[in-house]
Amino acid sequence: MDLRATHHLTLAQQLGVQHPIIQAPMVGVSTPALAAAVSNAGALGSIGLGACNAEQARAMIAQTRALTGKPFNVNLFCHRKPEPDPAVQAAWLQHMQPLFAEFEAPVPNTLREIYVSFLDDPAMLDMLLQERPAVVSFHFGLPKPAWIDALKAAGIVLLATATDAREARLIEAAGLDAIVAQGVEAGGHRGVFEPQQDEMTGTLALVRTLSQQRSIPIIAAGGIMDGQSIRAMLTLGAQGAQLGTAFILCPESSANAQYRANLQGPDAGHTRISSAISGRPARGLVNRLITDLDAGAPLNPAYPLTYDATKALQAAASAKGNHDFAVQWAGQGAPLARAMSARELVQTLVNEMN
């Protein structure tokens, strides 16, 4: 989509939606059913493809299209491929050894790169150019310019996450259509391009700053749970808002019963950012996964190698009936989460906004 031709359009018009609300693409929680329900309600549903290969991603797009004829967003991870460091991996597995021992499970002897970055996946690019989803968004960075140009030439609206002014500048310079301004309040993975360069800026300051500095639309993300918060972000200069945690309790999400119970219990207000779960900073409900992995942690093996070890530990704990090591991403607005259908939630958000 040519920016010069679209800069006079509102964000909602560019996205092809009625309401400037985006359901965040949460890998492991968002489903084709959730994305379709949100899109059918006039907002932008999203599916996360970061854990998929090209054929799995194609199937997810097909499942979503079977449920909605409206635009939806597909999200890709653009992390740099981890440099394998045997010493770092050995130290990390040694750090985790007592936890595996607690569940009488062997420590993995190698860590696999379980999620291939979009940067290293030309098959995924080919699939996107064939399927042409209405919107594609990027997390953890940007693809190479030639890939961006190809997606734009296919008429796809492109979004990317920025956590600071530098990342936002790179996104605009790359010719993307809008910036998802992710504040430190957000649940799940921080979209930082370089994990060791995190400004930890809050949503309010980030949205206000970027709306003054950049000429493409800003989408506010992080801690936004209701229409009043969306309205506040629009007042600060955002053209839309992306909500993730707000949609976890919808019946269309794939969150399990325990995750839902914790989001509705006293622990919902207790979240923390940790890099020990996946190798990249991410905010979730505090349980033993965060407290025990963070305690005395050495340098982690980076994303997604670290995640491979965590998933092995979860499987070991789960096999013994222990669910204290589940990944339960959630933002700081988690106590405001409401259990209602996706359609009902979108309508409620719109009513509150207005």
Q: What would the DSSP string read from start to end of 148-182?
A: HHHHHHTT-EEEEEESSHHHHHHHHHTT-SEEEEE
As to burial, measured by CB atoms within 10 angstroms (0-12 exposed, 13-18 middle, 19+ buried), residue 310 is: buried
- Asked if residue 256 belongs to a domain, the reply is no
In this predicted structure, what is the pLDDT of residue 2?
45
Same domain for 77 and 98?
A: no
Tell me the pLDDT of the chain (354 aa) as tens digits: 444 445 589 999 999 999 999 999 999 999 999 999 999 999 999 999 999 999 999 999 999 999 999 999 999 999 999 988 999 999 999 999 999 999 999 999 999 999 999 999 999 999 999 999 999 999 999 999 999 999 999 999 999 999 999 999 999 999 999 999 999 999 999 999 999 999 999 999 999 999 999 999 999 999 999 999 999 999 999 999 999 999 999 999 999 999 999 999 999 999 999 999 999 999 999 999 999 999 999 999 999 999 999 999 999 999 999 999 999 999 999 999 999 999 999 999 999 999
pTM of the model: 0.96
Whether residues 157 and 54 fall in one domain:
yes
If asked whether residues 95 and 71 sit together in one domain, one would say no
CB 90 within 8 A of CB 298: no
Indicate whether 160 and 291 sit together in one domain: no
Residues 169 and 298 in one domain: no
List the alpha helices (DSSP H) in 278-341: 288-294, 305-319
**Quick one: pLDDT at residue 262?**
97
| pLDDT recorded at residue 8 | 80
Can you say how many angstroms the Cα of residue 115 is from the centroid of all Cα atoms in its chain?
A: 14
Q: Are 178 and 219 in contact (CB under 8 A)?
A: yes
Identify the residue whose tokens are 């053209």. 239
Here the tokens at position 340 are 């209602």
Q: Are residues 38 and 152 part of one domain?
A: yes
**Are residue 169 and residue 103 in the same domain, yes or no?**
no
Do 155 and 52 share a domain, yes or no?
Answer: yes
- Look at residue 255 and tell me if it is in a domain: no
The domain that contains 342 carries what CATH number?
3.20.20.70
Range(s) of the domain holding residue 342 = 1-81+117-248+338-354
In a domain, 11, yes or no: yes
User: How many domains in the chain?
Assistant: 2
How far apart, in whole angstroms, are the C-alpha atoms of residue 18 and residue 234?
A: 15
Give how far the C-alpha of residue 90 lies from the chain's centroid of Cα atoms, to the nearest Å: 29
Q: Same structural domain for residues 63 and 93?
A: no
User: 144 and 181, same structural domain?
Assistant: yes
Tell whether 272 and 177 lie within a shared domain: no
pLDDT confidence of residue 174:
98
